[in-house]
């Protein structure tokens, strides 16, 4: 296994801390398919309470939590709306269409930032048997491929005000909602109040080894439990994993601010080394997306070059390199990554 000096591939690469492992080992367990795992029940009640919804369901992945949310709101042949960079259409392998017969339309959103007129203009309801009906709008907060963008609450409220009277549901892909909460100071429940369902992830910035949750009304979550089993997501003595999530909620939420500060520091250094590759003012959370267009590097070439120096990144598109900070990247690793990346940015490769 490669020992990276700074592993910035994703905030999913974190490993359980020793204290988290101890909490997992002590977990009381039962059969969760029968609803008998007390640690899972505690986690579900905790997260539902934090987000101000009636109930929650533990799932093995963020993609499953999202897909369950989509399935609840959109019948086969109907459509969801989201931006073109959204995880549900870009990184879940067409699951909405493959599993649930859902069609999708998208709007363009620079940095994934929600601009209410864009989704509102696409809403299509009451069109009878002639056109596809819109059943759901999906918002991602923070926005992964947008570079950790925090969605403004005023924009979410405007979209909700437009969708509610037209009977269109809203789902929040809140895989990194914890980051949005810490960066903005907006309460988790305030964000979640404007959505019918919300997914949140434990295995990214919070550092749990696996797991996400879907929250919503009691009726919606009861139906989602049935679909989770149909999708193959029924789990047994999974309290061992739920215990990691509970530990993360107790110990790893507020420390996300450290990741944000390190990402911001790196963004400023990168902008100094290659002006225009990133605007530090847009780096709000733990993700830095470098535009390589004017650097002389392609994303793949830069990924390979930093990897040779012990820094791991992710080619997020034909002109973008993504670096994600997390609890396994401290100040020393950040300093090293900054040195490696800035040196390479300044040493533009010869055409």
Q: Order of strands, edge to edge, in the sheet holding 79-83?
A: 55-59, 212-216, 197-201, 169-174, 134-140, 79-83, 103-107
Same domain? For 119 and 183 the reply is: yes
Going residue by residue through the chain, which has 351 residues, state the pLDDT in tens, using 9 for 90 and above: 568 999 999 999 999 999 999 999 999 999 999 999 999 999 999 999 999 999 999 999 999 999 999 999 999 999 999 999 999 999 999 999 999 999 999 999 999 999 999 999 999 999 988 899 999 999 999 999 999 999 999 999 999 999 999 999 999 999 999 999 999 999 999 999 999 999 999 999 999 999 999 999 999 999 999 999 999 999 999 999 999 999 999 999 999 999 999 999 999 999 999 999 999 999 999 999 999 999 999 999 999 999 999 999 999 989 999 999 999 999 999 999 999 999 999 987 755
Which two structure tokens, joined as six digits, stand for 293? 């267009």
Same domain? For 150 and 218 the reply is: yes
Same domain? For 245 and 263 the reply is: no
**CB burial class (10 A; 0-12, 13-18, 19+) of residue 296?**
middle
**Cα(73)–Cα(100) distance, integer angstroms:** 11
Same domain? For 213 and 261 the reply is: no
pLDDT at 347: 87
Residue after which a domain boundary falls, among 251, 271, 294? 251
Measured over the CA atoms of residue 250, residue 254, residue 256 and residue 259, the dihedral's sign is negative
Residue after which a domain boundary falls, among 251, 280, 299? 251
Three-class HEC string of 105-149: EEECCHHHCCCCHHHHHHCCCCCCCCCCCEEEEEEECCECCCCCE
269, 244 in Cβ contact below 8 A?
no
**Cα(124)–Cα(38) distance, integer angstroms:** 43
Q: Order of strands, edge to edge, in the sheet holding 320-324?
A: 287-291, 320-324, 314-317
The residue range of the domain holding 262 is 6-13+255-346
Q: Evaluate whether residue 24 is within a structural domain.
A: no
Q: Evaluate whether residue 46 is within a structural domain.
A: yes
pLDDT at 349: 72
Q: Evaluate whether residue 1 is within a structural domain.
A: no
Same domain? For 227 and 317 the reply is: no
**CB burial class (10 A; 0-12, 13-18, 19+) of residue 18?**
exposed
Q: How many domains does the chain have?
A: 2
**Residue 113, Cα to own-chain centre: how many angstroms?**
14
Residue after which a domain boundary falls, among 216, 251, 286? 251
Nearest to 315 by CA among 337, 301, 302, 299: 299
């Amino acid at each position: 296994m490669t020992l990276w000096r700074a592993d910035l591939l994703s905030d999913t690469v974190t490993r359980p801390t020793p204290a988290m492992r101890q909490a997992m080992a002590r977990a009381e367990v039962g059969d969760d398919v029968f609803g008998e795992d007390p640690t899972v029940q505690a986690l579900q009640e905790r997260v539902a309470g934090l987000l101000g919804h009636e109930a929650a369901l533990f799932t093995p992945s963020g993609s499953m939590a999202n897909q369950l949310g989509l399935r609840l709101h959109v019948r086969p042949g109907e459509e969801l709306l989201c931006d073109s960079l959204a995880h549900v259409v870009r990184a879940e392998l067409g699951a909405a269409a493959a599993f649930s017969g859902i069609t999708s339309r998208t709007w363009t959103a620079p940095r994934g930032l929600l601009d209410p007129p864009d989704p509102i203009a696409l809403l299509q309801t009451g069109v009878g048997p002639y056109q596809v009906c819109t059943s759901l709008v999906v918002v991602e907060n923070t926005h992964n491929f947008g570079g950790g963008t925090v969605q403004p609450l005023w924009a979410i409220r405007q979209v909700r005000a437009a969708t509610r009277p037209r009977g269109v549901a809203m789902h929040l892909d809140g895989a990194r909602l914890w980051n949005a909460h810490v960066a903005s100071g907006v309460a988790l429940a305030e964000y979640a109040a404007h959505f019918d369902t919300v997914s949140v992830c434990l295995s990214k910035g919070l550092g749990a080894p696996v797991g996400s949750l879907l929250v919503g009304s009691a009726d919606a979550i009861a139906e989602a439990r049935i679909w989770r089993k149909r999708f193959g997501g029924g789990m047994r003595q999974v309290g061992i994993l739920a215990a990691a999530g509970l530990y993360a909620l107790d110990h790893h939420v507020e420390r996300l601010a450290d990741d944000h500060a390190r990402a911001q520091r790196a963004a400023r250094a990168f902008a100094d080394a290659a002006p225009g590759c990133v605007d530090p003012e847009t780096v709000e959370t733990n993700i830095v997306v470098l535009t390589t267009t004017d650097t002389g590097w392609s994303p793949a070439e830069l990924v390979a070059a930093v990897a040779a120096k012990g820094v791991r990144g992710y080619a997020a598109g034909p002109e973008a390199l993504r670096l994600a900070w997390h609890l396994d990247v401290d100040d020393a690793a950040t300093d090293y990554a900054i040195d490696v990346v800035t040196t390479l940015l300044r040493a533009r490769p010869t055409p």
